[in-house]
């Protein structure tokens, strides 16, 4: 029976649509999207830069209060729409009596996901390069100059970066092209448990070989004097990035979600798992950094310079270093497949078969990725918006990252919150999220109507100045 009339399904069940085979399958897929370079690379280094514990607390609050409600709203809109995000938003706007321009939110997400994957794949490729460095013993006993030279050498070589970027994109295309169940779900069922096992192994290594107490202290002892306004806003911005909310990627995943799954409860599980991975990554990294007398505040080089230096000094460093970069690769792949999904779904809506869509989209994204590759070497001096003081010295890669992380994610998140909180009828919102008439439902709606948009507006304005 079609439930179009109830507003729960905007488009009805006319076209057969694949579904995640269970609630767990969706949780693993969405957690796979959420857990990525953001958790294992960015979270530890921004925590390091912002002084540790107090930053972590604020980050947790941002996830719980702002990130999760928006994530729930996004998944819910995807499930109601049951098509690619662009078509879903257009249909939902029609059913909910809103302006067709709401589809623009999904268009923005589409472009953002495309650009995001183009550079995410290049950075994902670094993990491949580092697996080979670690496995061949390149870190063993090496000094800071040698390790710094490895990273500089990788970034300086366009052919090497292109090679790893190509391998990474190929894996993404193969997985997504094979289909929702036979490709993505199968890969995720294998990769996510592997990710958790690897992470626990690495934390175990940090307990045995690292300065674990100092690592724990650094992550959990909150010293608010170390936290700046900048730090608070970074935490809020990262809450969006890490949950993959704002650019309709989770909407695309939500479109395969079986009707009976309770969204509110499910996103809490996803948020908890995502946070757990980020914290465990911190617990795997900082004890090694401290045990070797290194600095936690190295910025983006924390993983690619500081950590290899630590592995190079430690017993079992070659093995565990290899495992660490393999973990980074697994995390990056399961996120990358979610980024190409809205593009492939949009092509499917237009009658392009999934395999061809994945290949075509993959090729275009790969080609755009070459701009990122070049911005680390031949085009390092090319600053297209250098005439604007805000963008002075920014390469194409920096601009792509700014466009996605600082503009599209918060703006999209705000639009989704506004749609769910202001356009949808309160009863429909509650029912589609799986919330009852009680306090939880009212609180959720309040957050979506007022708190989330206001918070996003603050980050957004802050990022512009
Ligand atoms: N959540 C991913 C990470 O933490 O690495 C990044 C990401 C994936 C952001 C998908 C946005 C997105 F749509």
Quick one: CA torsion of 311, 317, 323, 324, rounded to 10 degrees?
-20
Distance from Cα 222 to the centre of ligand 1, integer Å: 27
- From 116, 124, 246, 413, give the residue whose CB has the most ligand 1 atoms within 8 Å, as the site to mutate: 116
pLDDT of residue 129: 97
Residue 334 C-alpha to ligand 1 middle, in angstroms?
10
Per-residue pLDDT for 299 more than 90?
A: no
φ/ψ bin of 12: left (φ > 0), alpha (ψ from -120 to 50), beta (otherwise): left
Neighbours of 404 (CB within 10 A): 25
Please give the residue that has the higher pLDDT: either 60 or 230: 60
Task: Give yes or no for residue 199 having a pLDDT over 70.
Answer: yes
Q: How many residues does the chain have?
A: 465
pTM of the model: 0.93
pLDDT of residue 12: 52
What is the pLDDT at residue 406? 84
pLDDT at 457 over 60: yes
Q: What is the domain partition of the chain in residue ranges?
A: 23-464
Residue 423 predicted with pLDDT over 60:
yes
Contact 131, 325 (CB under 8 A): yes
Using CB distances shorter than 6 Å, the residues near ligand 1 are: 33-34, 36-39, 113, 116, 241-242, 244, 247, 249, 335, 338-339
For residue 205, pLDDT over 50 is answered with: yes
pLDDT category of residue 458 using cuts at 50, 70 and 90: confident
Q: Is residue 10 over pLDDT 80?
A: no
Q: How far apart are CA 100 and CA 438, in angstroms?
A: 32
Residue 14 has pLDDT above 90, yes or no: no
Q: Which of 335, 408, 412, 413 to mutate to test the pocket of ligand 1 (most atoms within 8 A of CB)?
A: 335
Atom number, ligand 1, closest to the C-alpha of residue 274: 4
Cα–ligand 1 centroid distance for 36 (angstroms)? 6
**Which of 47, 339, 405, 413 gets mutated to test ligand 1 (max ligand atoms within 8 A of its CB)?**
339
Residue tagged 């994610």 (tokens): 409
Distance 213 CA to ligand 1 centre (A): 30
* Alpha-carbon distances, residue 221 vs 56, 202, 283, 412 (angstroms): 9, 22, 13, 34
pLDDT in tens, 424-438: 999 999 999 999 888
Which atom of ligand 1 has the smallest separation from the CA of 243? 1
Alpha-carbon distance 17 to 2, whole Å?
A: 13
pLDDT for residue 5: 43
Question: Helical H runs in 63-211?
Answer: 68-81, 85-95, 103-135, 144-156, 158-177, 186-209
Q: Is the pLDDT of residue 6 over 80?
A: no
pLDDT in tens, 348-392: 999 999 999 999 999 999 999 999 999 999 999 999 999 998 899
Per the listing, tokens 């069922």 go with: 189
Average pLDDT of the chain to the nearest whole number: 93
pLDDT band at 4 (very low <50, low <70, confident <90, very high): very low
**How much is the average pLDDT of 315-338?**
97
Closest CA to 143 of 290, 40, 286, 292: 292
Atom of ligand 1 nearest to the CA of 331: 5
Nearest-CA residue for atom 12 of ligand 1: 244
Residue 236: the pLDDT is 85
Give the closest residue (by CA) to ligand 1 atom 10. 244
Region 170-186: mean pLDDT is 97
Most ligand 1 atoms within 8 A of CB, residue of 31, 38, 184, 278 to mutate: 38
Region 109-133: what's the mean pLDDT?
97
The percentage of residues in the chain with a pLDDT greater than 70, rounded to a whole number, is 96
Residue 229's pLDDT band, with cuts at 50, 70 and 90, is confident
Using the mean position of ligand 1's atoms as its centre, give its distance from the Cα of residue 409 in Å. Answer: 10
Distance 313 CA to ligand 1 centre (A): 32
Comparing 4 with 32, the larger pLDDT belongs to 32
**Residue 247 CA: which ligand 1 atom is closest?**
13
Which DSSP category does 350 fall into?
A: T
Q: pLDDT band for position 106 (50/70/90)?
A: very high
pLDDT one-digit tens code per residue, 66-91? 999 999 999 999 999 999 999 999 99
Architecture per CATH, domain 23-464, reads as Up-down Bundle (1.20)
Structural contact between residues 266 and 71, judged by C-beta atoms closer than 8 angstroms: no
* Listed residue (334, 366, 367, 307) closest to 130, CA to CA: 307
Q: Which of 29, 30, 35, 36 to probe ligand 1 with, by most ligand atoms within 8 A of CB?
A: 36
User: What's the gap in Å between 244 CA and the centre of ligand 1?
Assistant: 4
Specify the range with the lowest mean pLDDT, choosing from 133-137, 144-148, 175-179, 221-225: 221-225
Tell which residue, 291, 36, 312, has the closest CA to residue 172.
Answer: 36
């Amino acid at each position: 029976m079609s439930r179009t009339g109830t507003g729960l399904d905007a488009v009805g069940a006319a076209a057969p649509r694949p579904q995640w085979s269970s609630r767990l399958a969706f949780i693993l897929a969405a957690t796979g999207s959420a857990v990525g370079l953001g958790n294992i690379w960015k979270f530890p280094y921004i925590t390091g830069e912002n002084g540790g514990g107090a930053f972590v607390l604020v980050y947790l609050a941002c996830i719980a209060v702002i990130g999760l409600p928006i994530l729930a709203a996004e998944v819910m809109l995807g499930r109601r729409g049951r098509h690619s995000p662009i078509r879903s938003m257009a249909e939902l706007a029609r059913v909910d009596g809103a302006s067709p321009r709401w589809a623009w939110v999904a268009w923005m997400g589409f472009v953002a996901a495309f650009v995001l994957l183009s550079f995410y794949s290049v950075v994902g490729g670094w993990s491949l390069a580092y697996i080979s460095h670690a496995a061949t013993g390149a870190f063993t006993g090496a000094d800071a100059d040698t390790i710094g030279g490895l990273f500089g050498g990788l970034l300086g070589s366009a052919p090497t970066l292109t090679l790893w970027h190509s391998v990474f994109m190929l894996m993404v295309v193969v997985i997504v092209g094979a289909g929702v169940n036979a490709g993505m779900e199968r890969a995720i069922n294998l990769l996510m448990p592997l990710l958790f096992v690897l992470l626990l192994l690495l934390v175990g290594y940090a307990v045995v070989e690292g300065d674990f107490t100092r690592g724990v202290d650094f992550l959990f002892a909150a010293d608010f004097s170390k936290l700046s306004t900048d730090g608070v806003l970074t935490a809020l911005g990262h809450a969006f990035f890490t949950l993959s909310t704002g650019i309709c990627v989770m909407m695309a995943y939500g479109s395969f979600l079986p009707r009976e799954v309770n969204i509110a409860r499910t996103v809490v599980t996803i948020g908890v798992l995502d946070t757990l991975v980020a914290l465990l990554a911190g617990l795997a990294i900082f004890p090694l950094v401290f045990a070797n007398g290194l600095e936690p505040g190295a910025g983006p080089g924390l993983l690619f310079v500081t950590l290899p230096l630590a592995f190079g000094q430690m017993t079992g460093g070659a093995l565990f270093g290899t495992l660490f970069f393999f973990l980074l690769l697994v995390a990056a792949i399961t996120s990358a497949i979610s980024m190409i999904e809205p593009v492939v779904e949009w092509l499917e809506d237009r009658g392009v078969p999934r395999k061809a869509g994945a290949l075509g989209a993959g090729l275009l994204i790969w080609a755009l990725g070459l701009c990122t590759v070049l911005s680390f070497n031949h085009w390092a001096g090319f600053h297209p918006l250098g005439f604007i003081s805000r963008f002075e010295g920014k390469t194409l890669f920096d601009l792509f990252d700014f466009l996605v992380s600082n503009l599209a994610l918060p703006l999209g998140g705000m639009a989704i919150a506004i749609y769910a909180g202001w356009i949808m009828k309160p009863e429909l919102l509650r029912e589609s999220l799986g919330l009852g008439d009680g306090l939880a439902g009212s609180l959720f709606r309040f957050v979506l109507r007022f708190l989330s948009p206001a918070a996003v507006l603050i980050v957004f304005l802050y990022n512009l100045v």
